[in-house]
C-alpha cells in the first residue's frame, strides 16, 4: 500500500518535505541528527526479523565508509510498520539520464574516462572496507552538482554485500559467480564503460569498434578482460581496470579529471538544463525533553534486538562479583573525556563519566522496588539506561562510542553484564555501577549476545555466533576463563537463562528451516540432555524467555511482526495465558519479587517501557522517550 510521509516528522528525526518521482517510494527529508538532506527509500514490505537484523548491521557498517564518490549511508529504520533505508542525497541526473539524453549515441571517450576514474576510486574504497556494491548500474550513479562541481557519485548501497558472501540475483550487470569478489563490481564497471562508448548494450556484446570505430583498437582488445562472465583472468581490481584502460588509450591517468564542471560534454550540458530540487532549508528542531540529547540511532530499527533479547535468571542470591584482582582479565576504561595517563607505558587511559544509579528500595509501595536497566538509543548510539519501576528520571549508564546491548544485573545488583562492540566485534563486559571500572569477559571467540549469570554467580551462559553461523549456547567463567560450547542446535539460540534452582538453562531456538520461528527448550548441563517445551504452540514466537521466580512459568512473546504479544507459559500444566492484546509488545521480564512484569511496547506509538501485574492488569508506562527503549531487565 502506498504511503505519503510528506510534511511529516518521522521518528522525531527526519523532517520529510516531498515524495520523489520514480517507481519506488522515496522521500526527501532533512535529518536533524546529521544535519543534511537525505533520501528515505521504503522497502516494499516490512522484512522478517532476521532480514531486518541483516539490514541493520549492513547500514551500521556501511555508515563508517566516507568517500566523496559514495553517497553516505545514514541507517536503516522502521516506522509505522514500514522499513526504510536512509542515505545522503546526491541531487542530479543519473548516468542513465545522460545516456537517454543522446539515445543510441556514444559518449566521448574523454567523458567516459571521467566516469570510470570516479567510479573506480569509489568502488575501490568499498572493496578496501570489505564490501562489494553488488548492484552497480547507470541508474544508481548520479552526477551530484551540490557545489557546482558535477561529480559522479555511487548511490543505493542498500544492496551491498560483504566480500565473500553469496551474490544477489543475476542481472545483466552481474557475472555468474558463487561468491562476491572485487571482480564482481569490475564486471559491472566494464559493462557500464562499454555502454557509454557503444551507445547501448546489445546482447551478445560485439567488438566495440563495430559500434564505435573511434575507440582505440588496443582498448577494444583489452575491454573483454573485464567483460568475461566466467574467465578467471578477468581484471579483479577497479583501479587496475582504470589504469589498463588509460594505458590502452595512451592517456595519463593523472590527467583525467574527476569533475564535469567547465567541460564541453553531454553530461555538462545536461547539468545546465537539469531541474534540480529546490534547496531544503533546515527546519527548526523539535523539543524532545530534558533527558540527554534525543538523537536517533543510525539504525533505529529495533526489531532484531527484540527478537534476540537476553532474559536473565531470577531468584539468584549472593555473588562475589570481582574476587581478587589476579582473577580478572584486563580492566579497561571508557574512552570518553579521556585524561592523559601519567605513565606512557600504560595502555589504559582512565576517564570520569558521570554515572547516575538510582537505587530504590525493594520495599517500595506496591512492590515497585529495585531498578530497571534497558537498552536505549542516545546520541546516535545504543547505550544502557536505568530507571526506577515508578518511572521518572532516566540515568545514562554507558556513554562510550560503541553500541551496547543485552544488559543483565548481577544477583547482588551492583554490576551490569552486557554485550558491546567497543573494540569491533561484540564481546561481553562487566561494569561496576557507580564506577568507571569495566572488565572484559570474552575475547575473540565469536559474536556474543544475550547472557545470564549462573545461580552461584561464578559462570556466565550466553549466545555466540562464529563465522556468521547460527548462535550456539556457550558458557564462560565470570573472570573470562574457560570459554566453552555447551550446545550447538539446529537453529539460532537466543536468550539463555538459568532456572532459579540453578540446575537447568532455558533458551529460545529457531528451526533450521526458518530462523525466525522460535520454540523454547530446557537444557541440563549435567546430563547434556535437551527437551522441547513450547513445541510449536506459540506461532511466530520471538527469541526471548524469562523464568518466574518460583521456576514454574516462562514469559514469552509471539505473534506476527509488528503485532507481538506477551504470553505466560506454565511449564507444569502446559497452560498458556495471553497477558497483552495489541501494541506490539516484547522482551518481558519478572520483577525480583515476581509480582510485576516489565516489557517494551509500541502501544502509544514510540517504543517505550511499561510494567503490568502478572495477570496482565494495571499497565503503567515508565519511559516516554521519542527514541526506542527496549531490552528491559528488572534487578535489585
- Per residue in 597-634, pLDDT (tens digit) is 999 999 998 999 999 999 999 999 999 998 899 999 99
Q: What is the spatial distance between Cα 491 and Cα 515, in angstroms, rounded to a whole number?
A: 6
The answer to whether 520 touches 557, Cβ cutoff 8 Å, is no
Residue among 437, 444, 454 at smallest CA distance from 483: 444
The three cell numbers locating residue 428: 561481553
Domain 9-88 sits in CATH at 3.30.200.20
Task: DSSP for 266-295, please give it.
Answer: HHHHHHHH--PPPP-PPPPPPP--SSS--P
Q: For residue 415, what are the CA distances in angstroms to 251, 306, 317, 410, 456? A: 64, 22, 14, 5, 15
Nearest to 470 by CA among 504, 518, 425, 522: 518
Under a CB-based contact definition with an 8 Å cutoff, are residues 162 and 180 in contact? Answer: yes
Which residues are paired to 190 by β-bridges?
none
What distance, in Å, lies between the first and last C-alpha atoms of the chain?
A: 47
> Contact, 397 vs 373, CB < 8 A?
yes
Residue 244 near residue 250, CB atoms below 8 Å: no
Domain boundaries, the chain: 9-88, 95-273, 310-635
**Residue with the three cell numbers 522502521:** 78
Residue-wise pLDDT for 541-581, tens only, equals 888 899 998 888 999 999 888 889 999 998 878 889 999 99
> In angstroms, rounded to a whole number, what is the distance separating the alpha carbons of residues 599 and 420?
22
Instruction: Give the count of beta carbons closer than 10 Å to the beta carbon of residue 348.
Output: 13
How are beta strands 371-378 and 331-332 bridged, if at all? unpaired
**Which DSSP letter does residue 462 get?**
E
Other residues' Cβ atoms within 10 Å of the Cβ of residue 483: 20
Distance CA 449, CA 506 (A): 16
Residue 540 to residue 559: CA distance in whole angstroms: 5
From the list 429, 461, 464, the residue with the least C-alpha distance to 330 is: 429
Q: Please give the Cα distance from 52 to 31 (Å, whole number).
A: 22
pLDDT of residue 272: 87
**95-273: what fold?**
Transferase(Phosphotransferase); domain 1 (1.10.510)
Cα 308-314-317 angle, rounded to 5 deg: 140
- Host H or E run for residue 518: strand 518-524
CA-based Rg of the chain, rounded to a whole angstrom? 27
Q: What is the pLDDT of residues 79-136, one digit of tens each?
A: 878 899 999 999 999 999 999 999 999 999 999 999 999 999 999 999 999 999 999 9
Laid out side by side, the sheet with 606-613 consists of: 585-590, 596-604, 606-613, 620-621
Q: Is the pLDDT of residue 318 over 80?
A: no
Q: Which residues pair with 505 in a beta bridge?
A: 498, 523
Is pLDDT at 168 greater than 60 in this prediction? yes
Give 154's strand partners.
Answer: 70, 141
Q: Please provide the DSSP assignment of 578-622 as one string.
A: E---SS-EEEEEE-TTSSEEEEEEEEESEEEEEEEETTS-S-EE-
| E strand residue ranges, 294-424 | 331-332, 371-378, 381-387, 395-396, 404-409, 415-423
Tell me phi and psi for residue 187, to 5 degrees.
-60, -45
Range of weakest confidence among 294-303, 382-391, 438-447, 583-592: 294-303
Q: List, edge to edge, every strand of the sheet that includes 576-578.
A: 546-547, 553-558, 565-570, 576-578
Compute how many other C-beta atoms are within 10 angstroms of the C-beta atom of residue 575: 10
Of 75, 74, 69, 73, nearest to 95 by C-alpha is: 69
Can you tell me the distance from the alpha carbon of 111 to that of 119, in angstroms, rounded to the nearest whole number?
Answer: 13
CATH code: domain 310-635 is: 2.120.10.30
pLDDT in tens, 56-83: 999 999 998 989 899 999 999 988 788 9
Q: 546: exposed, middle or buried (C-beta count within 10 Å: 0-12, 13-18, 19+)?
A: buried
DSSP-assigned beta bridge partners for residue 106 = none
Instruction: Find, among 173, 172, 193, 196, the residue nearest to 101 by Cα.
Output: 196
- pLDDT tier at 208 (50, 70, 90 boundaries)? very high
With cell 529504520, the residue in question is 77
**479-520 pLDDT, tens digit each:** 899 999 999 988 899 999 998 888 899 999 988 777 777 889
pLDDT of residue 282: 64
Q: Find cell 527496549 and name the residue.
A: 630
Q: With contact defined as beta carbons under 8 Å apart, do 262 and 342 qualify? A: no
The reported pLDDT for the residue numbered 336 is 30
Residue 218 C-alpha cell reads as: 588496443
By CB atoms closer than 10 A (0-12, 13-18, 19+), residue 222 is middle
Most confident listed range (295-299, 352-356, 366-370, 393-397): 393-397
Strands annotated E in 129-170: 131-132, 141-144, 151-154, 161-162
Hey, is 373 helix, strand or coil? strand
- Whether residue 399 has a cis bond before it, omega within 30° of 0: no
Q: Which of 5-14, 198-207, 347-356, 553-562 has the lowest mean pLDDT?
A: 347-356
In sequence order, the 6+-apart residues with CB closer than 8 A to the CB of 317 are 411
- Total-model pTM: 0.49
Residues 6+ apart with CB under 8 A from 500: 313, 314, 315, 316, 455, 547, 549, 550, 551
Amino acid at each position: 500500500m502506498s504511503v505519503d510521509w510528506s510534511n511529516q516528522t518521522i521518528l522525531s528525526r527526519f523532517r520529510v518535505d516531498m515524495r520523489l518521482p520514480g517507481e519506488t517510494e522515496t522521500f526527501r527529508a532533512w535529518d536533524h541528527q546529521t544535519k543534511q538532506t537525505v533520501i528515505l527509500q521504503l522497502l516494499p514490505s516490512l522484512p522478517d526479523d532476521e532480514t531486518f537484523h541483516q539490514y541493520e548491521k549492513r547500514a551500521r557498517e556501511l555508515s563508517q565508509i566516507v568517500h566523496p564518490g559514495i553517497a553516505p549511508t545514514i541507517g536503516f529504520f522502521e516506522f509505522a510498520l514500514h522499513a526504510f533505508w536512509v542515505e545522503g542525497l546526491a541531487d542530479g541526473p543519473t548516468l542513465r539520464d545522460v545516456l537517454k539524453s543522446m539515445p543510441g549515441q556514444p559518449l566521448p571517450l574523454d567523458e567516459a574516462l571521467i566516469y570510470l576514474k570516479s567510479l573506480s576510486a569509489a568502488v575501490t574504497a568499498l572493496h578496501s572496507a570489505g564490501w562489494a556494491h553488488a548492484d552497480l548500474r547507470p541508474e544508481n550513479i548520479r552526477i551530484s552538482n551540490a557545489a557546482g562541481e558535477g561529480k559522479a557519485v555511487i548511490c543505493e548501497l542498500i544492496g551491498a554485500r560483504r566480500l565473500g558472501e553469496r551474490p544477489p540475483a543475476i542481472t545483466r550487470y552481474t557475472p555468474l559467480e558463487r561468491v562476491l569478489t572485487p571482480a564482481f563490481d569490475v564486471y559491472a564497471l566494464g559493462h557500464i564503460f562499454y555502454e557509454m562508448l557503444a551507445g547501448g548494450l546489445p546482447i551478445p556484446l560485439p567488438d566495440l569498434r563495430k559500434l564505435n570505430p573511434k575507440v582505440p583498437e588496443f582498448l577494444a582488445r583489452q575491454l573483454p578482460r573485464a567483460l568475461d562472465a566466467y574467465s578467471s583472468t578477468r581484471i579483479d581490481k577497479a583501479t587496475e581496470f582504470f589504469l589498463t584502460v588509460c594505458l590502452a588509450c595512451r592517456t595519463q591517468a593523472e590527467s583525467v579529471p574527476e569533475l564535469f564542471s567547465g567541460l564541453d560534454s553531454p553530461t555538462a550540458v545536461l547539468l545546465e538544463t537539469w531541474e534540480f530540487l529546490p534547496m531544503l532549508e533546515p527546519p527548526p528542531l523539535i523539543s524532545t525533553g530534558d533527558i540527554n540529547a534525543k538523537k536517533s540511532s543510525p539504525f533505529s530499527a529495533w526489531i532484531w534486538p527484540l527478537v534476540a533479547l537476553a532474559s536473565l535468571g531470577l531468584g539468584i542470591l549472593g555473588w562475589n562479583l570481582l574476587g581478587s584482582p589476579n582473577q580478572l582479565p584486563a580492566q579497561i576504561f571508557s574512552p570518553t573525556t579521556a585524561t592523559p595517563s601519567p605513565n606512557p607505558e600504560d595502555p589504559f587511559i582512565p576517564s570520569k563519566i558521570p554515572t547516575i544509579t538510582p537505587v530504590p528500595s525493594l520495599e517500595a509501595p506496591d512492590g515497585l522496588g529495585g531498578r530497571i536497566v534497558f537498552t536505549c538509543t542516545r546520541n546516535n548510539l545504543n547505550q544502557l539506561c536505568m530507571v526506577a519501576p515508578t518511572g521518572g528520571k532516566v540515568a545514562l549508564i554507558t556513554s562510550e562510542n560503541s553500541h551496547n546491548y543485552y544488559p543483565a544485573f548481577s544477583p547482588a545488583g551492583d554490576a551490569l553484564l552486557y554485550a558491546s562492540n567497543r573494540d569491533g566485534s561484540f564481546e561481553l563486559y562487566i561494569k561496576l555501577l557507580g564506577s568507571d571500572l569495566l572488565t572484559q569477559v570474552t575475547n575473540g571467540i565469536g559474536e556474543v549476545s544475550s547472557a545470564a549469570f549462573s545461580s552461584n554467580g561464578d559462570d556466565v551462559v550466553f549466545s555466540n555466533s562464529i563465522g556468521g553461523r547460527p548462535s550456539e549456547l556457550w558458557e564462560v567463567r565470570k573472570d573470562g576463563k574457560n570459554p566453552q560450547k555447551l550446545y550447538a542446535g539446529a537453529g539460532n539460540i537466543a536468550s539463555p537463562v538459568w532456572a532459579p534452582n540453578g540446575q537447568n538453562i532455558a533458551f529460545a531456538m529457531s528451526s533450521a528451516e526458518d530462523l525466525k520461528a522460535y520454540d523454547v527448550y530446557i537444557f541440563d548441563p549435567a546430563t547434556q540432555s535437551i527437551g522441547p517445551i513450547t513445541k510449536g504452540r506459540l506461532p511466530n514466537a520471538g527469541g526471548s524467555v524469562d523464568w518466574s521466580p518460583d521456576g514454574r512459568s516462562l514469559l514469552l512473546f509471539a505473534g506476527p511482526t509488528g503485532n507481538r504479544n506477551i504470553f505466560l507459559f506454565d511449564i507444569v500444566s502446559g497452560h498458556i495465558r495471553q497477558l497483552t492484546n495489541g501494541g506490539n509488545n516484547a522482551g518481558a521480564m519478572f520483577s525480583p519479587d515476581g509480582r510485576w512484569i516489565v516489557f517494551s511496547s509500541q502501544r502509544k506509538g514510540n517504543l517505550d517501557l511499561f510494567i503490568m501485574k502478572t495477570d496482565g492488569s494495571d499497565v503503567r508506562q515508565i519511559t516516554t522517550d521519542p527514541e526506542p527503549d527496549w531490552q528491559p531487565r528488572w534487578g535489585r
